[in-house]
Amino acid sequence: MKERSKVRLILEDGTEYHGKSFGATVAAAGEVVFNTAMTGYPESLTDPSYRGQILCLTYPLVGNYGAPGKSEENDLYRFYESASIHIAGLIVSDYSFEYSHWNASESLDEWISRNNIPGIFGIDTRALTKRIREKGAMLGKIEPEGTEISFYDPNKVNLVAEVSTREKKIYGTGKYRIILVDCGVKYNIIRNLLKRDTTIIRVPWDYDYHQEEYDGLFLSNGPGDPKMCTVTIDNIRRSFENGKPVFGICLGNQLMALASGADTYKLKYGHRSHNQPVIKVGTNKAYITSQNHGFAVDNKTLGKDWDPLFININDQTNEGMKHKTRPFFSTQFHPEASGGPTDTDYLFDEFIENIKNYLQSR
């Protein structure tokens, strides 16, 4: 085994953690966040919502099933959530240099190295996670020995513009035409919609889709502060006027809230895991959900025509909203999972049912 160079993780409060390097031996800066999931690092690393973030995986052993090969279905990579890695850097406790999986084509080390992403292992990720929980999400930087880099705040730039598609793309030939506003969409969202007899028209975040013929509007997940997406918010506000069904996920929930006149705010350290419990408002039904977000909708600012749809059981934050009389709804969590539980994927069926009802009423 080759000798691993020394590397340090520095937080903006001055705290330092020392470990060994894997992946690319380059410096990187961003916002340090943690995810408590036990599996699913290929999906997390390729999730555009992690753009500009240094990701700490709290599960102690990482890398033992390598990195999946690239195979396509419907012009989408089957085992990734986008076409590339989006994290700025990776933090793990114990890195497994041995890997084994039927679909592995290379090691995690080789995969992130090939994509110029630095990793650090051998640090106390429990102590790091505890510090973030107590102090809140912080800027940080990974510096291999002999390198330096300045802190960088990804929340001050429009990350959505970086990860959104640059041109209109069409998937499927199904009955129901859906405009998908790509703010950093995960591929499994597209897969779930395609299963339901749809044609997906994927458009850039700032595209004026009102010129298109469509039956329903989908607002995707994505990175950063939703208030950066002013053009998208204006387009959604216009869409409310035509009454066509709308479904938003994650950032889409926040954008819908802003378009309706409500407000959003930054969470102390966000929700990033596969086991976030939510309850459907007005029922005793609870669901375990996959989540990845650092901002949330302020329930107190929802307008008179809107209600919370789901509430987080841990901290009572907003996990979705719905219009009282029109077919508009959204969730802060990810019903498509990948990775995580699929308990709430029935919400895609509800969206399609809303479209059917809308078309029948015309």
Q: Give the pairing of strands 176-182 and 94-95.
A: unpaired
Does residue 193 share a domain with residue 98? Answer: no
* 336 tagged catalytic: yes
Q: Does residue 111 fall inside a structural domain?
A: yes
- Exposure string of 63-93, with b = 16+ CB inside 10 Å and e = fewer, is bbbbbbeeeeeeebbebbbbeebbbbbbbbb
Say whether both 117 and 254 belong to one domain. no
Q: Are 238 and 228 in contact (CB under 8 A)?
A: no
Check which CATH number belongs to the domain holding 150 and give it. Answer: 3.50.30.20
Indicate if 145 and 166 belong to the same structural domain.
no
- Could you tell me if residue 194 is inside a domain? yes
Q: Which pLDDT score, from 0 to 100, does residue 71 have?
A: 87
Shared-domain flag, residues 144 and 208: no
Phi-psi region of 18 (alpha: psi -120 to 50; beta: other; left: phi over 0): beta
State the catalytic residue, choosing from 274, 293, 323, 334.
Answer: 334
Question: What's residue 362's pLDDT?
Answer: 83
Is residue 239 left, alpha or beta, with left meaning phi > 0 and alpha meaning psi from -120 to 50?
A: alpha
Of 107, 128, 156, the one marking the end of a domain is 156
Please report the pLDDT score of residue 1 as a whole number: 60
Domain holding 321: CATH number? Answer: 3.40.50.880
Asked if the structure places residue 208 within a domain, the reply is: yes
What distance in Å separates the CA atoms of residue 70 and residue 104, rounded to the nearest whole number? 10
Overall number of domains in the chain: 2
So what's the pLDDT on residue 3?
81
CB within 8 Å of 341: residues ≥ 6 apart: 274, 275, 287, 288, 289, 290
Of 31, 143, 319, 336, catalytic: 336
Domain-located, residue 268: yes
Whether residue 197 sits in one domain with residue 339:
yes
Q: Give the active site residue among 56, 183, 229, 250.
A: 250
Same domain as 115, residue 210: no
Domain shared by 141 and 181, yes or no: no
Regarding whether 284 and 202 lie in a shared domain, the answer is: yes
Assess whether 52 and 77 both reside in one domain: yes
Look at residue 2 in the predicted model and tell me its pLDDT. 72
Same domain, 259 and 295: yes
Note if 250 is an active site residue. Answer: yes
Query: Of 127, 156, 185, which one is at a domain's C-terminal end?
Result: 156
Burial class (CB in 10 A: 0-12, 13-18, 19+), 160: buried
268 dihedral zone (left: phi>0; alpha: psi -120 to 50; beta): alpha
Query: What is the 8-class DSSP label of residue 124?
Result: -
Judgement on whether residues 230 and 119 belong to the same structural domain of the protein:
no
The SS3 of residue 112 is helix
Q: Is residue 321 part of a domain?
A: yes
* Full domain range(s) for residue 187: 159-361
119 plus 171 within the same structural domain: no
pLDDT tens-digit profile, the chain (362 residues):
678 999 999 999 999 999 999 999 999 999 999 999 999 999 999 999 999 999 999 999 999 999 998 888 888 999 999 999 999 999 999 999 999 999 999 999 999 999 999 999 999 999 999 999 999 999 999 999 999 999 999 999 999 999 999 999 999 999 999 999 999 999 999 999 999 999 999 999 999 999 999 999 999 999 999 999 999 999 999 999 999 999 999 999 999 999 999 999 999 999 999 999 999 999 999 999 999 999 999 999 999 999 999 999 999 999 999 999 999 999 999 999 988 999 999 999 999 999 999 999 98
> SS3 for 191?
helix
Classify residue 302: in a domain, yes or no: yes
Domain stop point among 101, 127, 156: 156
